């Protein structure tokens, strides 16, 4: 793959470095840092700005933001990737079938999706996790289901477009089966859209988890997650902006890294770019 060298252009380097960094933190931070570091309170050092003893400052309960950020990475990344993966597992076949077969299949599936779409994603996630009860697994299910209709709609539109391309018709007359057409011809051609949408969804999933945590349904305090940290910082923005900046920057850098990585990945997979 001569396209692989695209990974090493500036955009690809920055993107993959950020992604690898975040993944390494998510995996290794909890193995290196004792878990109580994230929950240890120091009432004398509440809302203290970054200094030598607390590199990134502390929150309203005097907990060290650096450790909370490092240890919260696993929760946030875990929930976000699992939720997006889940929405892909449900949404991709739905969208592909809907767009490819069209007609009655399309009508039935898309009405289903439209019903889900008529609820705001967060409200839907809220309802689902309220019904299932607060736990990490249920948070993933809630966000995953809430994101599915958007993905399914998008994939359906793309699949519909690609299914009408002459090369698909050519493949039909070359005797391709439905499975071969969907997997071999439609799917590769909508991959770019799926990659870009998935990386953006990851960012939204991190924030959605924050919303659920804020309402008491996502990550349960005193556990740390980036979303929870952002929500907690809300009341102290004027006095201690670092409480929002630290997890906010973590989310922003992750999202930036993912988007750049997604873009480059799309180019790597596309034989047309050279």
Partner 1 sequence: MAATGDILSMNNLETKKPVVSINDLQVKFKSDGETVIAVNKISFNVHAGETVCLVGESGSGKSVTSLSLMRLVEFGGGEITNGSLVLERNNKQVKNLVEADASTMRSIRGNEVGMIFQEPMTSLNPVFTIERQLTDGLRLHTNLSGGETREKALQLLKEVRIPDPEKRLRQYPHELSGGMRQRVVIAMAMACRPRLLIADEPTTALDVTIQAEILALINRLKHETGMAVLFITHDMAVVAQMADRVVVMYRGDMIEEAPVEKIFSEPKEDYTKALLAAVPQLGEMAGTSEPRPLDIPGHETLQKNQTKNLTARQETVLEVQNLITRFPVYGGVFRRKVANVHAVENVSFSIKKGETMALVGESGCGKSTCGRSILRLVEPVSGQILLNNQNILALNSHELRKTRRDMQMIFQDPFASLNPYMTLRDQIAEPLKNFGLVSKSEIEDIICDMLRKVELPLGFLKRFPHELSGGQRQRVAIARAIVVNPSLVVADEAVSALDVSVQAQVLNLMMALQDQLGLSYLFISHDMAVVERVSHKVGVMYLGRLVEHGSRAQIFENPQHEYTKSLMAAVPIADPKQRNISGDISFKPIPSPVFPVDQVIESPIYKEVETGHWVLTNK
In angstroms, give the least distance from the CB of 168 to partner 1: 8
176 binds partner 1 (CB under 8 A): yes
3 binds partner 1 (CB under 8 A): no
174 binds partner 1 (CB under 8 A): yes
- What are the backbone dihedrals phi and psi of residue 47, each rounded to the nearest 5 degrees, phi first? 50, 35
Under 8 Å between Cβ of 70 and 225: no
User: Which residue in 13, 20, 24, 170 binds partner 1 (CB under 8 A)?
Assistant: 170
Q: For residue 197, give both structure tokens.
A: 């949408």
b/e 88-115 (16+ beta carbons within 10 angstroms → b): bebbbebbbbbbbbeeeebeebbeebee
* Candidate segments 15-23, 61-69, 174-182, 197-205, binder of partner 1 by CB under 8 A: 174-182
166 binds partner 1 (CB under 8 A): yes
Q: Which helix (H) or strand (E) covers residue 139, if one does?
A: helix 136-163
| Stretch 242-271 residues interacting with partner 1 (CB under 8 A) | 270-271
Under 8 Å between Cβ of 162 and 189: yes
In angstroms, give the least distance from the CB of 175 to partner 1: 4
Give residues with Cβ within 8 angstroms of 112, minimum separation 6.
none
* Candidate segments 143-151, 175-183, 196-204, 206-214, binder of partner 1 by CB under 8 A: 175-183
Largest CA distance in the chain: 76
8 binds partner 1 (CB under 8 A): no
| Stretch 182-221 residues interacting with partner 1 (CB under 8 A) | 185, 188-189
Beta bridge partners of 64: 58
Q: Count other C-beta atoms under 10 Å from residue 64's C-beta.
A: 24
In angstroms, give the least distance from the CB of 164 to partner 1: 10
| Residue placing its CB nearer to partner 1 in the complex, 61 or 191 | 191
In angstroms, give the least distance from the CB of 194 to partner 1: 13
Listed residue (136, 259, 143) closest to 199, CA to CA: 259
6 binds partner 1 (CB under 8 A): no
| Residue placing its CB nearer to partner 1 in the complex, 44 or 272 | 272
Site for partner 1, rule CB under 8 A: 165-167, 169-177, 180, 185, 188-189, 270-272
């Amino acid at each position: 793959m001569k396209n692989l060298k695209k990974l090493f252009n500036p955009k690809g380097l920055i993107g993959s470095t950020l992604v690898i960094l975040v993944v390494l933190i998510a995996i290794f931070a909890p193995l290196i840092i004792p878990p109580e570091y994230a929950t240890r309170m120091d009432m004398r050092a509440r809302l203290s700005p970054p200094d030598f003893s607390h590199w990134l400052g502390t929150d309203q309960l005097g907990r060290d933001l650096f450790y909370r950020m490092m240890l919260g990475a696993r929760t946030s990344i875990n929930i976000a990737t699992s939720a997006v993966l889940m929405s892909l597992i449900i949404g991709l076949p739905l969208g592909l079938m809907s767009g490819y077969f069209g007609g009655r299949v399309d009508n039935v599936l898309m009405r289903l999706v439209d019903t889900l779409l008529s609820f705001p994603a967060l409200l839907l996630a809220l309802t689902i996790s309220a019904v299932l009860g607060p736990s990490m697994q249920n948070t993933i299910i809630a966000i995953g289901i809430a994101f599915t209709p958007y993905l399914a709609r998008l994939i359906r539109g793309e699949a519909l477009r690609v299914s009408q391309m002459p090369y698909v018709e050519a493949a039909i007359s070359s005797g391709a089966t439905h499975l071969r057409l969907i997997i071999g011809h439609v799917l590769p051609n909508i991959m770019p859209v799926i990659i870009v949408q998935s990386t953006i969804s990851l960012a939204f999933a991190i924030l959605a988890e924050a919303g659920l945590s804020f309402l008491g349904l996502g990550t349960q305090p005193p556990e740390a997650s980036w979303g929870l940290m952002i929500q907690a910082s809300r009341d102290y923005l004027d006095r201690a902006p670092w409480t929002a900046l630290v997890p906010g920057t973590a989310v922003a850098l992750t999202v930036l890294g993912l988007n750049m990585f997604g873009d480059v990945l799309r180019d790597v997979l596309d034989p047309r770019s050279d």
